[in-house]
Every structure is written in structure tokens, then in C-alpha cells.
Structure 1
Amino acid sequence: MSPPATPRHVLPVLVLAQFAGTSLWFAVNAVMPDLQRELGWATSAVGTLTSALQFGFIAGTLVFALLAIADRFAPRRVFLVCALAGAACTVGAWWTVRDYTSLLLWRFATGFFLAGIYPVGMKIAAQWYSKGLGAALGLLIAALVVGSASAHALRALGDALPWPTLMLGVAALAAAGGVLLYAALGDPPGAVARVSQLQWRALGTVWTDPRVRSSVLGYFGHMWELYTMWVMVPLILATRLSGTGLSWAAFLVLGAGALGCAGGGWVAQRWGSARVAGAQLAMSGACCLATPLMLGAPDLAFYAWLVLWGITVSGDSPQFSTLTARNAPPQAVGSVLTLTNSIGFGISIASILLFVWLADSVPLGALLPWLAIGPALGLWALRPLLAEERAPR
């Protein structure tokens, strides 16, 4: 007997709630130019505040994974509480925005509560979509990509929108997303019963289970490249653009990743998630290696290269999460996804710090090809799952 069809409203609610909740990520980044002009902060302040949030997210995902929060409590309740707490932290950041130390603490706390939004949203999707999970997560992470890229669009619109309005608006949006998901979605039929104790052995499958290890290590290679590429895009565009034109171009390049996520999810239903993830990882790695050639290319080729890179650097992410969710122990999917996020974001911070530091002394054409190390190692790790999907059934 086939499982009952998932109600049509579930996916739109998940996508809207995920977009609203993760908008907290870049609430301060979008208003930093105004704050820098008004308060005299250095350009490096945006990097420090971003790192504070990333470290908060790593701390949060580690705590949530080790305590099995998403598997011991109702995921939609965890999502609601964390969305409201993250919104409150953003209001706190607005209230104390002129105190830089307080702002750092509020951003760290915001990152901590995002651990109950991004990976928990994926856990909820995995509960509802036993089939078609790759397509569902493709749309879910596409929403995250658009939300991430929107910081550049907001920057371009900065003259029309005062920074307090932006910060408070993002807080209200996140809170609304948490309420929407909690009110509109019940528990899915056939959901795995919540555990009452910590799942140490289940967390260990990140290393001990060959399938989980393959998808997780592939994801780690992806994370070495992803956020560093996002940080470097404005520097690449600055070789040809400036001002508002640069901000809109950055939004389009990074936002193109939503096409890779959504389109990859659609193709994965026919090809399989491992093959889609591998193809996009290979293409983004090739874009890294093409940097020396493309920096001096004509405008058409230059912008086409950046858009292709933007599409593929993000597009493999939902398929790695799909593979991990499918192969992890059912009673610990939320914890395994959360632990994987924690380690992946730790890798991304190391990569960002290294490449930003080297960018002061190494030309972009010589530096950025080294980002291909991540995709290369990711493809190597993904081999068992690729072979499994290619095998005749």
C-alpha cells in the first residue's frame, strides 16, 4: 500500500518559512554600509560580524546535534522557538547597534538559533517527503540561496530603505515564518517516533556508515568552495564594476544558485541525487580552475562564467543533504544533518579566513583555482554513491 500523498500546501509553507527564517542570516550585512558611514566603522567590520554569526551557527548546530534536539522534540516546535528567538536577537541587535561588542554578541546568538531553523527545516522536509526529497530540498535550499543573495539587492536599495526599517522588517519576517510553519503544518503521517535519549551511535554513522560518509565528505568538499566563492564574488566583479551596478550583479550571480538548487532537484528525480551533485560539483570546480582565463575574457564570457559558477556552486547542496537524510538512521536524521552542518560551516570559516588573508598578497587569478581542491576531494568521496546509482537495477 503506497503512502498517502503529501498535501499540496506543505512544500510552499516549508519554502516560505525557510526563506523567512534564514533571512536573519544577513540582516546586519545588508545595512553595514549605512552603519559604517554613520558610525565610522572599518570595512573589516562586516567580516567580523559575519564570522561571529557563523561561529554562533557552528556552536548551535554542535549543541543541537549532541543533545539530539531535533529528534527529541517536535521539529516544528523547535523551528518556531528558534525563529522567535532569532527575531528577538535581531531586535536586540537593532536596539544596541551602536555598541559594537553588544552587536557581536547578538549576532553570535542569532547564529546559534539559526541552528534550529536551517537544518531543522530539512528534517521536516525529510519527514514529509519519503519520495521526491531531492526536489523538495532543492526548492527549500533555493529559498535560502535567494535569501542569502538578497543582502546585495538590499544594499543596492539602501538609499530608499533606512537601516532600522530593514533590521526590524527582517525580524518580523522571521517571526512570521516560524508561526506560519507551526500553524500550517501538523505532524506528517508515519513520522518516526521521537527519541528519549542521546543517539551517539547514530551520530557515529557520519564516519562508520559508508553511504553516509560518502555524502558527508562530498558535502565538506562543497563547503570548502561555497562560502569563500560568495565572499570573493564582489572582489571579482570589482575588476569591472562599482557601486550599485556591482551590488546588483553580485545579487544576480549568487541568486542564480537558486536555479541550480531547484533545477537540480527536478533532474535528480530522473538521474539520482549523487549524479546531480557530482555533475554540479565538477562544473563548479572547473569554474574555479578557469579563473585565470576568465578574468581577462570579454564581458559576455566573463559574466556567463560567473553565472554558471553561481548556479553550480550552490546547486549540489540540496542533493548532498538528500543523500545524507536518506542514508542516516531514521530516528536521528535531524541530529546527523545538524552535525554535518556544524562541521561543514567550520570548514567554510577556515576556507574564508585563509583565502581572504591570501587575497591581500596573491592575485585572484592565481588564488581562486585553489578552491577546486574542495570539489576534487568531494568527487573522490562521492564515488561509492555514484557507482551505486550507475549500477543496473
Structure 2
Amino acid sequence: MPPVFSIILAQLFGTSLWFAANGAAGDLMHAWHLTAADIGLLTNAVQLGFIIGTLTFSLSGLADRFAASRIFAVCAVSGAILNAMFAFGAHGLQAGLPLRFAIGICLAGIYPLSMKLIVSWVPDRAGNALSQLIGMQTIGVALPYGVRAVGASWPWQPSMLVSSALALIAAAMIWRLGDGPHLVRAAGAGSLDIRRLLSIFAIPNFRAAALGYFGHMWELYAFWTLVPTFIIVSGVASQSTAALSGWSFVVTAAGAIGCMAGGLWSKRIGSARVAAAALATSALCCALFPLSGTWGMSAKILLLLAWGISVVADSPHFSALSAKACPPEMVGSALAFQNAIGFAISMVSIQIGAGIVENWGSTVAWLLLPGPLLGLMGLRRLIKAGA
């Protein structure tokens, strides 16, 4: 199996842990007497764990001192075990939140390290390969919704175990693959100085890519968290139905199309322009969604699909642009640090969005609009430079 295909397939399987609880949100709300804001807390527990994990990897230098494949495998196995513990050992938020937090820490060893693995194998094709990688991550995020739609008659616990099984397969695949021949750092290298890590923001191109990424992150995970609500308020499906899980899977997984198409398109026009086109499209969807109440059902579905496709299509290009702009020996730590800041931003939009959606309805989409607009501002320098 080609290395890039192994990595992107393992990424799909490993990141199915991310929204495993969201896929069972309807069941959890009923069984644990939760609100939409509580589901936001469960999502943010993962985000916070991811932030702590990425900061640990970046500030300690672990992301560059040890084999990325070994870190990935250990974290995938740990995440699979913790997810199973959530399914059968948690009976409310008090027990569920710490487990989701710990899963977030494990994901910090899966997602950023997958990007490093891609760069370590095919640095000359990083933009296109990262597009495929993020496309698989998008399907991985959506996968719990698809599993729940297929197993609508099952208890929610077995549905979550599917993610654990897939994460174990991912661990075995990456352990066997190992690291690529590029971007290898000496095993005895010390941890990074925080001042040196912060110094990468003095690099104009890295700073521009990071600003674009931060705007993108304000929108992306809040959108994914709110997808079931957007489907309900638009009338496409009703609460606690297999159709809701099915449409949530389709709208979220549609982002893989944007990632794949963007990767191919970037070969012709560059990553910065692809990212800008995706941000502009998702900004338009943000603006139009609250105005779509009187539209026909087909038009509403097309709008949701366009949003799902465009909202993540820019993500791999920010990673490629950032990796290209920073020193090679700091790629793993720089991407992990950038991820940590981006996910901290996402926690704010997720919690605000989940907290107000019951009162705001479809107009909560306008809360997400500043993100892609800020991202477009950040990309101006890179577009002018032809990046």
C-alpha cells in the first residue's frame, strides 16, 4: 500500500474518535438529560484536550524528537480505549467530560502528526497530499453520524465502539509504515525554547498563513458541531431520526470533495488562491443561510452541501503554506502550536454557538461569518506573493 494512502486511510479511521459522542448526541440528550449547550461542552472537552496535547508536543519538542509514527500509534490505541470507556463507563457529564478531554489529548498525536508524516514522505507534493489527508479527516469526523444512521436501531454504545475499532486499525497501519525519509530530527535534540517557537510568527508568510487559519477555525468546528441543528431548523430532517444522522453525515463528509478538488486545483493556481476561494464561498453560505427560510427544500439542501464542501476545503492549504514558510526542523512543532491556537479559537465559537442556538435558530450562522472574512484578510499577502 503506498505510504500516502496508508496515512490518509489511518487518518480517517483515527479521527472517527473526534465526533463519536456527537454522533450519539440525540441518544445522550435523552439518556443523560442534556441540552444543546451540554453537547457543546462535550465537544469542547475534546477541543481543550487537543489544545493541551498539541501544546505539550510543540513546547516539549516531542513532535520533532520522536518518530511521528510511534506517537500516532500510541495515541490511537489510547484513544480507542478511552472511547470504549466513555461508551460503557460514563453515565453523565461528570464522567463523560474527563474522558472526552483525554481523547482530545490523544487526537493531538494523531492529526498534527499525520501532517508531519505526509511531509516526511512527499514534501514536494505536500499541498495535494495534505488535501487528501484533510479530506479523510473530514469523513472521519462525519463517520459517527453515518454509523448511527445505519445502526439507528442499535443502542448508542455499539455505534461508538466502531470508532474504537477503527482507531486500533489505524494504529497498526501507521506502526507498520513508520516515518518517511524527510524532516528527520536528531533523537537527542532538546525541547524547544518558547521564544524560538514564537519567533516563527516573525516570518511574514507564516504569520499570514496562520491568520488565515485562525479565521478558518472560528467557523469550521462550530459549523460541524451545529450541522444537526442547521438541518433541523432548515426542515430537512427532524430531531432523533435516522434521517438527521444521515444528512449530518452527508453534509459533513461533503467537505472531502472540497479538499480533494482543492488539492488538484492548487497545482494550477496555488494553495493561497484555493484557500481564498473556499473562504469566500463559506462566507457567502454563512450570510445566506439565515435568509433561506422560504427557499425550496432542494435549494436548502444545496446550500448546506455547498457550505459543507467549502468550509474545510481551505484547511490543508493553510497547513501546506505554514509548513513551507517555517524552518524544516520546526515543522512538527510549528504546526502543532498553530493547531493549538486555532482550536482555542474554535472553543469560543463552539460554546457561544451551542449556547445561543436554541434562541437564535438559523441566525446563529451569522456568528460564524467573521471567521472566513478574517481569513481572507490574512491571505492577501500570500495571494500577492503567488503562494
Same fold (TM over 0.5): yes
Aligned to 2:378: 381
CA–CA distance in 2 between the matches of 1:164 and 1:307? 29
How far did residue 349 of structure 1 move? 0.9
Deviations, residues 331-364 of structure 1 (Å, cap 9, x unaligned): 1101111111111111011012222333343352
TM-score (norm 2): 0.92
Aligned to 2:66: 73
The farther-off stretch of 76-85 and 352-361 is 352-361
Which segments of 5 or more consecutive residues in structure 1 lack a partner in the other structure?
A: 1-7
Note the aligned Cα RMSD (angstroms): 1.9
CA–CA distance in 1 between the matches of 2:77 and 2:5? 20
Is 2:186 the counterpart of 1:194? yes
Aligned to 1:245: 243
Change (3 A) 1:122 1:34: same
> Which secondary structure does the structure 2 equivalent of 1:279 belong to?
helix
Change (3 A) 1:319 1:236: same
Is 2:204 the counterpart of 1:207? no
- What percent of counterpart residues are identical? 41
Aligned to 1:139: 132
Aligned to 1:262: 260
Change (3 A) 1:126 1:291: same
What code does the residue aligned with 2:206 have? V
Change (3 A) 1:357 1:33: closer
What code does the residue aligned with 1:333 have? V
Change (3 A) 1:166 1:250: closer
Which segments of 5 or more consecutive residues in structure 2 lack a partner in the other structure?
A: none
CA–CA distance in 2 between the matches of 1:90 and 1:112? 12
Any conservation in 1 of the 2:23–2:245 contact (CA below 8 Å)? Answer: no
Change (3 A) 1:250 1:92: closer
CA–CA distance in 2 between the matches of 1:104 and 1:346? 17
Change (3 A) 1:178 1:247: same
How far did residue 291 of structure 1 move? 2.2
Change (3 A) 1:140 1:373: same
4+ long deviations beyond 4 Å: none
Aligned to 2:215: 221
Deviations, residues 172-203 of structure 1 (Å, cap 9, x unaligned): 221221111110x2432344333611233542
Aligned length in residues: 380
Change (3 A) 1:187 1:42: closer
Structure 2 matches for 1:75-224, cutoff 5 A? 75-98=68-91, 100-183=93-176, 185-194=177-186, 196-200=189-193, 201-224=195-218
The farther-off stretch of 196-205 and 75-84 is 196-205
The farther-off stretch of 161-170 and 211-220 is 161-170
Aligned to 2:12: 19
CA–CA distance in 1 between the matches of 2:10 and 2:105? 18
CA–CA distance in 2 between the matches of 1:87 and 1:80? 11
Structure 2 matches for 1:317-328, cutoff 5 A? 317-328=315-326
CA–CA distance in 2 between the matches of 1:291 and 1:140? 28
The farther-off stretch of 24-33 and 215-224 is 24-33
Aligned to 2:369: 372
How far did residue 121 of structure 1 move? 0.4
How far did residue 99 of structure 1 move? 5.5
Corresponding residue to 1:232 among 226, 234, 245 = 226
